[in-house]
Chains A and B, each alone.
Chain A
Amino acid sequence: MVFNIKLKIFTSILGCFFLFSTLLEGQTYNFRNYGGESNIPNIFIYTINQSNDGYLWIGMGNGIARFDGFEFYKVAYPDSLSGRYPITNLKDKSGKLWFGCSDGSVFFLSDRKLVKVPLSNTKSISDIIEGPGGMIYVIPQGKSIFAINSSDPGKTFQYSLSVDPVMFSGCFNRSGDLLIGTQENLLICRIAKDSVKIITIVEGFDYSNVTAIHPTDDPSKFLIGTEGNGLFRLSFTAGVTEHTVNYDRHGGEFLDLDIWLWSHPVPSFT
């Protein structure tokens, strides 16, 4: 008798398990790969973003393409130069798309056409960020940082660094200082009249390749992505000095930059 009850309980649990296991599938994701057979103009994809009218703008090994959900359309550069490829992009608060290229050139989209920004730069563009006052800041791999007036892109400004680090990433903090991720370390800089002054070199990032600096919901905290040295949380604490920096290391040994490209916006980090 006892055995029968146990058997019934066992079979009931087993039945429930099988019955509800189908409900546990939850979310399913459908992926479609666009390769050479999809008439994609190039199979090397470096950067991607969506404009406010819904099109995807894709930076590829041989230029920029627009994707309408069905077809890819190659977008011509306004000049005849070849050999460049887009590396990074930004959609600013007004919805304008900006592209930074391997040869140091920067373009923005206007009526689905690329317009070149007049910059005297030949270094590959690592990052484009939006700064205070509606300015777009362009971070090349070395020497200088450029600012572009978003509403009048013909107006550009150049800020030189006293040293020549290989710069990978940038982000403004709430006090208006610029965090710059480099091959060797993380710099906290202040933009002066025509130069960038390094205020602090944050210890602990020796040759970590700081490839991403991301703001969080908490304006005093940033996520720092490195290549080969893990993920860090950087926090600014008001106190004895304006820039007391604490950082904790999180995550594994490797952080792929793609994670950062696709994780925007970043939720608060706990």
Chain B
Amino acid sequence: MLKITNFRRMKFVNSIYITLVIILLTGFLVSPEVSSQAVPGKDENIPFLVTFGKDGKISWGDDDFNQIFFFSIPKEYIQQFYIRVFDPDCGGEHDEIQGDFNTKTLFSVYGGKGADPEQHEEARGLLNGVNYKTGNLLASRVFGQEARYDNKYYSFGPFNQTEGEFNQKWNSYIFKVVCEGIAGDDGNLYRYFLSRDANSNLAIEGANAFTYEYTFRMWNDFRSIAHIYPYVDTGIVSVKQSNFDWDNDGKILVVSRYKRGIEVPISNEANWVNSTIPIEPAEINSSLDFQFHKRQGELVKNNNVVITLENQRGDAIKFYSSPIGGVPVYQPVVTREKIPARK
């Protein structure tokens, strides 16, 4: 009798344990933390964005000492939101020191007329000598070496969606975040998260982030493959890729639902290299997958790189943190041919 009772008790405890494990696992799988509005995105597998102080050398992997990202908030989302910056300071963990940490980084959030790069080309930050700080300044802050924000988040906001600039095509409000190295020569490594909450990362359904020039840190790991996902819009027949300061670190492969993996030339120390990739009709209205494979053998450490794309007309192409249409998967063209029967 006692044995039966113990057996039942054990069974009961086990069932509670299993239920708890299932709940925890389910919670983890649907957690917004793993959702799409981290920048760099989850699918991109890029550890950090990087911006150097303006006194840095471009050979360290940042060609212009600033980085501009855009966030789109769907019109249907009417609650407040925050733009969170992970490790905004320059010092302590993650950041790249040059001598002593002396870098100041200015993060600025812009909205209103001038923030949307589709309506205001200068907002993309690709025109030399043209002011890219267009729009209404909604929030800004300078970070130096500040232990309180080292390896931690700083939240800009709350923002109301209508503080952005409305984009009819995407039915979304656009916000612009500019990161500038206003002093010093160190590399500030950071990430963004577009969140519904000031203190935690809660993704906004339907929101996205994009940029026209991506400056980021490669993994210090042979096996990790980083990705970026430009979107191929209607009318594009070719894409010109330009990459900077790749230090001859491995190879770049372009994969799409039509391309199995086209290798494009990569740059060396502090130089730009470009090439043109033809686009097939089957690739229109989908994303490309630019894969960055590190060189095997001697590890290139702390490699910071820059990449931009433009179409055949010279218009810059966006990189989306969350690939539009999902991560492209090569779909081989299957043809069938009937073999005539032997007589």
Measured CB to CB, the closest approach of chain B to A148, in angstroms, equals 21
**Chain B, Cβ-Cβ closest to A167:** B137
- Chain B interfacial positions (CB closer than 8 Å to A): 80, 104, 106, 112-113, 136-137, 140-142, 160, 162-163, 166, 182
**Chain A, Cβ-Cβ closest to B79:** A43
15 sample A-B contacts, Cβ–Cβ < 8 Å, listed by A number: A44-B80, A61-B160, A61-B162, A83-B166, A102-B112, A102-B136, A103-B112, A124-B112, A124-B136, A141-B137, A183-B140, A207-B106, A207-B182, A227-B141, A228-B142
Given A62, A183, A228, which contacts B137 in the complex, CB threshold below 8 Å? A183
Given the complex, which residues of A lie within 8 Å of B140, measured CB to CB? Answer: 183, 207, 209
Q: Are A209 and B112 in contact (CB under 8 A)?
A: no
Given the complex, which residues of B lie within 8 Å of A103, measured CB to CB? Answer: 112-113
Measured CB to CB, the closest approach of chain B to A88, in angstroms, equals 13
Q: Are A207 and B136 in contact (CB under 8 A)?
A: no
Does A178 interact with chain B (Cβ within 8 Å)? no
Does A166 interact with chain B (Cβ within 8 Å)? yes
Q: Which of A184-215 contact B (CB under 8 A)?
A: 206-207, 209
Q: Are A141 and B136 in contact (CB under 8 A)?
A: yes
**Chain A, Cβ-Cβ closest to B166:** A83
Given the complex, which residues of B lie within 8 Å of A141, measured CB to CB? Answer: 136-137
Q: Are B166 and A123 in contact (CB under 8 A)?
A: no
Measured CB to CB, the closest approach of chain B to A182, in angstroms, equals 10
Given the complex, which residues of A lie within 8 Å of B182, measured CB to CB? Answer: 207
Given the complex, which residues of B lie within 8 Å of A85, measured CB to CB? Answer: 160, 162-163
- Bound-state CA distance A214–B67 (Å) is 35
Does A268 interact with chain B (Cβ within 8 Å)? no
Query: Known: A141-B136, A207-B182, A209-B141. Is A62-B112 also a contact (CB below 8 A)?
Result: no
Q: Which of A63-105 contact B (CB under 8 A)?
A: 83, 85, 102-103
Given the complex, which residues of A lie within 8 Å of B112, measured CB to CB? Answer: 102-103, 124
- Bound-state CA distance A207–B137 (Å) is 13
**Chain A interface main SS type:** loop
Measured CB to CB, the closest approach of chain B to A270, in angstroms, equals 30
Does A122 interact with chain B (Cβ within 8 Å)? yes
- Bound-state CA distance A261–B332 (Å) is 63
- Bound-state CA distance A264–B90 (Å) is 38
Given the complex, which residues of A lie within 8 Å of B104, measured CB to CB? Answer: 207
- Bound-state CA distance A209–B106 (Å) is 11
Q: Are B136 and A123 in contact (CB under 8 A)?
A: yes
Measured CB to CB, the closest approach of chain A to B61, in angstroms, equals 25
Q: Are A228 and B141 in contact (CB under 8 A)?
A: yes
Nearest 3 CB-CB pairings of A with B: A124-B136, A207-B142, A44-B160
**Chain A, Cβ-Cβ closest to B165:** A83
Q: Give the one of A103, A124, A206, A227 with max B CB within 10 A.
A: A124
- Bound-state CA distance A206–B141 (Å) is 11
- Bound-state CA distance A44–B163 (Å) is 11
Measured CB to CB, the closest approach of chain B to A189, in angstroms, equals 20
**Chain A, Cβ-Cβ closest to B158:** A44
- Bound-state CA distance A203–B106 (Å) is 19
Q: Are B162 and A83 in contact (CB under 8 A)?
A: yes
- Bound-state CA distance A83–B136 (Å) is 13
Given the complex, which residues of A lie within 8 Å of B137, measured CB to CB? Answer: 124, 141, 166, 183
- Bound-state CA distance A178–B65 (Å) is 34
Measured CB to CB, the closest approach of chain B to A253, in angstroms, equals 9
- Bound-state CA distance A61–B162 (Å) is 7
Measured CB to CB, the closest approach of chain A to B24, in angstroms, equals 34
Given the complex, which residues of B lie within 8 Å of A206, measured CB to CB? Answer: 142
- Bound-state CA distance A158–B163 (Å) is 26
- Bound-state CA distance A123–B137 (Å) is 10
Q: Are A122 and B106 in contact (CB under 8 A)?
A: no
Measured CB to CB, the closest approach of chain A to B181, in angstroms, equals 13
Given contacts A103-B113, A183-B140, 5 further A-B contacts (CB under 8 A): A85-B160, A102-B163, A166-B137, A207-B182, A228-B142
Measured CB to CB, the closest approach of chain A to B160, in angstroms, equals 4
Given the complex, which residues of B lie within 8 Å of A228, measured CB to CB? Answer: 141-142
Measured CB to CB, the closest approach of chain A to B8, in angstroms, equals 50
- Bound-state CA distance A83–B166 (Å) is 8
**Chain A, Cβ-Cβ closest to B142:** A207
Given the complex, which residues of A lie within 8 Å of B113, measured CB to CB? Answer: 103, 122
- Bound-state CA distance A44–B136 (Å) is 17
Measured CB to CB, the closest approach of chain A to B70, in angstroms, equals 18
Measured CB to CB, the closest approach of chain B to A61, in angstroms, equals 5
Q: Are B136 and A62 in contact (CB under 8 A)?
A: no
- Bound-state CA distance A123–B114 (Å) is 10
- Bound-state CA distance A13–B80 (Å) is 52
- Bound-state CA distance A228–B141 (Å) is 8
